[in-house]
């Protein structure tokens, strides 16, 4: 693919991507989120545990109410699962990772009782994991078909397996079919639910209003925020797919496969090159005595594996410092002047921090208007003055 063709492809993809993103209402998620820190978006078990914690009348979240609070689980069944006939239910239990036949583990199961009547709501929650073979088929068979642990006459309710995903997508054929010919469940046996839907968010808002406890309210709000982060990630991904033509029935994107795979294979190097170009434009305060170089050797990477630029003394071409980006931008030095302020394990935020590695070196954050982490999207093409840091470094 020649240079002109690449430029046309990039422009077309970029224009489509920007148009897709601008058409979406993506909320600001810059505020720190405890669930994002725990990477709950990649861990279905943690997601289910917190959801189960909110639902369970016996959890500490609901224990401030006499005999537990059944309102969250009742409203969940009504508003999210869309089943209303539970007003007379007095007993609720929420089971996480319930083990059934063939060592299956069902993410969340809600049991509700109205006298002798029993209601069962088994749920499978998906974040990034794919469907397992016959997964929903086995769930349905266990709870609603064949040998069961309850009296048929006492079982009430919708008799559905609930499939919770971010988008509310349907389960795959792989999941709803059995291992034998003609074994299959259909849409009368399962229900797809989006945990980013208006109904789900409305339920979280209702639960949040139930509590006077600031910690409980904070956790619910943070959980909502994490769902917004997950929505944003999916929105960006879907916009990228559209920009690259993956949703084009003509499959014109196949013509660009070699180019796309080359980008994927070199993603880290491309990211570093973008950072180098951006930082060279922004960094100032070094020009009189130093040069910046993007020729990073293995020696430089031994000093810091996230190194993107190095600072060279003009008079002797000696490397005196390295600029690195992991999430935040920071500067690394081999030696400091006696006048430099340094603390061991200070966090590197306000003073230089001495490493505790065998190869002693020093580092500290380089802040731009106290904005972290570093991003090429910092507004107003802001300059980053490293002059005061270079004064601390022994030459």
List the chain domain ranges.
Answer: 34-235, 267-390
Predicted pLDDT at 221:
82
pLDDT digits (tens, 9 = 90+) for 273-284: 999 999 998 899
Ramachandran area for residue 140 (φ above 0: left; ψ -120 to 50: alpha; else beta): alpha
CA angle 279, 282, 285 (to 5 degrees): 110
End-to-end CA distance of the chain: 47
Residues 118, 114: Cα–Cα separation, whole Å: 7
Name the more confident of 117 and 219: 117
Mean residue pLDDT across the chain: 81
**Could you tell me where the beta strands, DSSP code E, fall in 42-104?**
91-99
Predicted pLDDT at 2:
56
Selection from 289, 306, 299 nearest residue 395 by Cα? 289
Q: What is the DSSP letter of 383?
A: -
Q: What is the mean pLDDT of residues 100-120?
A: 91
Predicted pLDDT at 314:
93
Residues 298, 336: Cα–Cα separation, whole Å: 23
pLDDT of 395 higher than 80 = no
Residues 258, 324: Cα–Cα separation, whole Å: 31
CA distances (Å), origin 249, targets 202, 246, 374: 36, 8, 39
The reported pTM is 0.61
Task: Answer positive or negative: Cα dihedral of 274, 277, 280, 283.
Answer: negative
Predicted pLDDT at 310:
95
CB-based burial label for 249 (10 Å; 0-12, 13-18, 19+): exposed
3-12, 206-215, 260-269: which has the minimum mean pLDDT? 3-12
Cβ contact 56:74 at 8 Å: no
Question: Is residue 21 very low, low, confident or very high in pLDDT (cuts 50, 70, 90)?
Answer: low
pLDDT digits (tens, 9 = 90+) for 47-104: 888 899 899 998 877 766 545 688 899 999 999 999 999 888 989 999 999 999 888 8
Residues 345, 234: Cα–Cα separation, whole Å: 38
CB-based burial label for 293 (10 Å; 0-12, 13-18, 19+): middle
β-bridge partners, 113: 91, 118
Predicted pLDDT at 158:
92
């Amino acid at each position: 693919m020649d240079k002109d063709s690449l430029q046309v492809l990039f422009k077309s993809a970029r224009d489509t991507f920007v148009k897709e993103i601008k058409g979406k209402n993506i909320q600001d998620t810059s505020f720190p989120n405890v669930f994002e820190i725990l990477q709950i978006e990649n861990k279905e078990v943690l997601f289910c545990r917190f959801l189960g914690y909110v639902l369970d009348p016996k959890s500490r979240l609901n224990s401030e109410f006499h005999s537990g609070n059944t309102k969250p689980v009742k409203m969940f069944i009504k508003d999210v699962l869309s089943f209303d006939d539970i007003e007379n239910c007095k007993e609720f239990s929420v089971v996480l990772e319930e083990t059934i036949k063939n060592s299956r583990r069902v993410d969340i199961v809600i049991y509700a009782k109205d006298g002798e009547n029993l209601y069962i709501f088994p749920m499978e929650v998906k974040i990034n994991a794919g469907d397992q073979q016959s997964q929903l088929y086995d769930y349905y068979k266990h709870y609603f078909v064949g040998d069961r642990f309850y009296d048929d006459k006492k079982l009430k309710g919708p008799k559905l397996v609930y499939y919770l995903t971010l988008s509310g997508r349907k389960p795959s054929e792989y999941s709803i079919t059995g291992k034998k010919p003609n074994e299959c469940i259909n849409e009368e046996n399962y229900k797809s639910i989006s945990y980013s839907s208006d109904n789900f968010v409305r339920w979280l808002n209702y639960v949040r209003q139930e509590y006077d406890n600031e910690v409980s309210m904070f956790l619910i709000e943070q959980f909502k925020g994490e769902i917004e982060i997950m929505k944003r990630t999916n929105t960006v991904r879907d916009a990228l797919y559209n920009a690259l033509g993956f949703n084009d029935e003509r499959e014109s994107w196949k013509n660009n496969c070699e180019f796309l795979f080359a980008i994927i294979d070199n993603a880290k190097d491309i990211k570093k090159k973008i950072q180098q170009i951006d930082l060279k434009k922004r960094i100032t305060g070094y020009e009189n005595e130093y040069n910046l170089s993007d020729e990073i050797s293995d020696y430089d990477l031994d000093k810091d594996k996230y190194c993107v630029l190095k600072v060279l003394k003009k008079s002797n071409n000696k490397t005196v410092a390295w600029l690195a980006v992991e999430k935040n931008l920071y500067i690394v030095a081999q030696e400091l002047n006696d006048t430099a302020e340094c603390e061991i394990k200070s966090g590197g935020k306000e003073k230089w921090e001495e490493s505790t590695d065998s190869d002693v070196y020093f580092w500290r954050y380089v802040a731009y208007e106290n904005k972290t982490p570093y991003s090429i999207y910092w507004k107003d093409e802001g300059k980053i003055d490293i002059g005061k840091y270079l004064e601390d470094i022994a030459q």
